[in-house]
Structure 1
Amino acid sequence: MNVEHEHVLTDVTKVKEIFVNILSNAIKYTPSGGSVMISVDELPCDEPGYMIVRNRVSDTGIGMSQDYMTKIFDAFTREQNTTKSKIAGTGLGMSIVRKYVDLLGGTIDVESELGKGSTITVTLKHKIADESYYVKKHIEESGTGSEILEGRNILLAEDNDLNAEITEAILERAGIKTERVEDGIQCVNMIEKMPAGTYDMILMDIQMPKMNGYKATQAIRRLSDKDKACIPIIAMTANAFEEDKRDALAVGMNGHIAKPIELDKLLSMLAEVIRQQENC
């Protein structure tokens, strides 16, 4: 990383979505023993108060053909060697990346060679933030209540391996123990099987196979054991729309957090829900 201005004002959701897609592809298409390198460089900017960042993601993966690279940003297109090897994917990731890069006024460049890997370079211009704003924000957020989370046990219902790994890493840093299930049915079964009080809370993804997060929550709320039925449940969705929050609350969830997950927001919400539960 080679950045002079660490604090910027930007569309956090879109920027995170860009790099979640690029990095997940790099990891997915790089075989075991390969590597993924990320470099971040600040470039000169002629416009006062702004900075330009060049983000480069290079991998040693399977690479792409020159023919496919002309269609990489088209929706629902995938390289032939990825479908033959049965690597899962929808072909939407790079289409979304291109859309968001364009919306942010940036550029994206792709270099690749079959069997040798790929390099994707994204350049974005950001407004430099007033440093005093971040000093104030840090002071305000320093009391997120992380001490109340130490030693807690959370059941994580998440079908996506990468999302689960990220969430577990965030929770582990806060001293929280996690156990993961991969769909709503497994989540309900785990709550029914384990004694009440085993888990302090459930982090529930909404879009899951077999049984989604809404239906799983409704099933848990109908359990005959009231201690189990009242366990706090936080929804995790790919959207931060008001209707998603309303839907979560309507089925009996205690809160809602959007992906990609932000550390401070997640820990603050968990702490607040636990305080509310202890005060009941």
Structure 2
Amino acid sequence: MARIESGHMELDENYANIEDIRQRLIEMFEDEAKKKNIHVRYTFNVEHKHVMADVTKVEEIFVNILSNALKYTPSNGSVEVNVDELSCDEPGYMIVRTSTMDTGIGMSQEYLDKIFESFSRERMTSSKISGTGLGMAIVKKYVDLLGGTIDVKSVLGKGSTFIVTLKYKMADEKYYLNKQEENCEVDNAIFNGKHILLAEDNDLNAEIAQTILERAGLFVDRVKNGIECVNKVIENPVGTYDVILMDIQMPKMDGYKATCEIRNLQDKAKACIPIVAITANAFEEDKKKAIDAGMDGHIAKPINIEDLFVVLTDILNK
């Protein structure tokens, strides 16, 4: 929210498939719906699926809306999501309207008037259900940033409806598919015998990453914080590691600080080792911050295997 209000939030539009976004959202909330025995129904009526979009922000909008729908709908209730393509007067563009309807506890008219204010929460529910009161404020800011609209209707005790309309520039499907094929063309032979220094404090994340990397033929050393990472580079001979995969949020010393320490080493051969940021922050300004800190690439969590291998291939080919 601070980034948005400071005016530093930028759009990062890339080729995207609207149906892929929908599928990720379905998978994300499938287990939660089953636990509460909530019936979730999706309809998808979109002809032009390939668009230019800031996927991170679009998904954040609907993650918040769907999360609330499931959170505030009692067990055995229902949530319906309708995605429809609307005509657009501007050539080369299309409009997508996404309606999310639930049979939840609903909201009072008094609260609806301030639902998009920061830290606002319905008084009768705030003590029973956890939350920060920032979700809908962020949703509204993102919708505005993307040039869309959001409308909310609700009846106390009966449920709520959120209607979001977003305009997208239509993308060339053949170009999109060609880009996807290019991203998948990875020659694993380039990984054989290469050494990775993995800086990751979370044991499960480290185990997953290490398994993926080792199956591709890479050797992996793992450290748990920035200090250990810097010490590994200092203690071992030049050329021991071909790439460092650097988590950003780590105890004792974060990834940015560790990168700066390595870049300032007196041994210039060690100081220029390629470093790739691994972070849950996928915004464009986070990528810029990683590059400004001296990193050579940026991969968002959860790690997409294809993206990881594309970045590693690009670095190891240099």
Category of TM-score, reference length = shorter chain: 0.5 to 0.7
Whole-angstrom distance in 1 between the partners of 2:116 and 2:123 = 15
Q: Does 1:7 align with 2:50?
A: yes
Q: Does 1:93 align with 2:135?
A: yes
Letter matched to residue 68 of structure 1: Y
> Identity rate of aligned residues, in percent?
41
Contact 1:245 1:256 in 2 (8 A): yes
2:85 corresponds to = 43
1:235-250 correspondence runs (5 A): 235=277, 236=279, 237-241=281-285, 243-249=288-294
1:56 corresponds to = 99
Whole-angstrom distance in 2 between the partners of 1:148 and 1:39 = 45
| CA positional deviation for 1:139 | 4.2
Contact 1:202 1:233 in 2 (8 A): yes
| TM-score when normalising by structure 1 | 0.59
| CA positional deviation for 1:7 | 1.0
2:114 corresponds to = 71
Whole-angstrom distance in 2 between the partners of 1:209 and 1:118 = 42
Contact 2:143 2:150 in 1 (8 A): yes
| CA positional deviation for 1:23 | 0.9
Letter matched to residue 93 of structure 1: G
Q: Residues 218-258 of structure 1, C-alpha deviation per residue, up to 9 Å, x if partnerless? A: 678899xxxxx999642234432475134331xxx442246
| CA positional deviation for 1:86 | 7.1
1:22-37 correspondence runs (5 A): 22-24=62-64, 26-27=66-67, 30=71
Q: Does 1:19 align with 2:59?
A: yes
Contact 1:22 1:94 in 2 (8 A): no
Contact 2:197 2:245 in 1 (8 A): yes
Letter matched to residue 283 of structure 2: N
Letter matched to residue 57 of structure 2: E
Tell me the C-alpha RMSD between the 2 structures: 5.5
1:226 corresponds to = none
Distance 1:79 1:267, change over 3 A: farther
Letter matched to residue 290 of structure 2: K
Aligned residues: 254
1:133 corresponds to = 175
Distance 1:49 1:158, change over 3 A: farther
Give the gaps of 5 or more residues in structure 2: 1-43, 217-221, 266-270
Q: Residues 3-62 of structure 1, C-alpha deviation per residue, up to 9 Å, x if partnerless? A: 2111123xx32x53143243146337628977886745333415243322122345676x
Task: State the SS of the aligned residue for 1:109.
Answer: strand
Contact 1:37 1:59 in 2 (8 A): yes
| CA positional deviation for 1:265 | 4.5
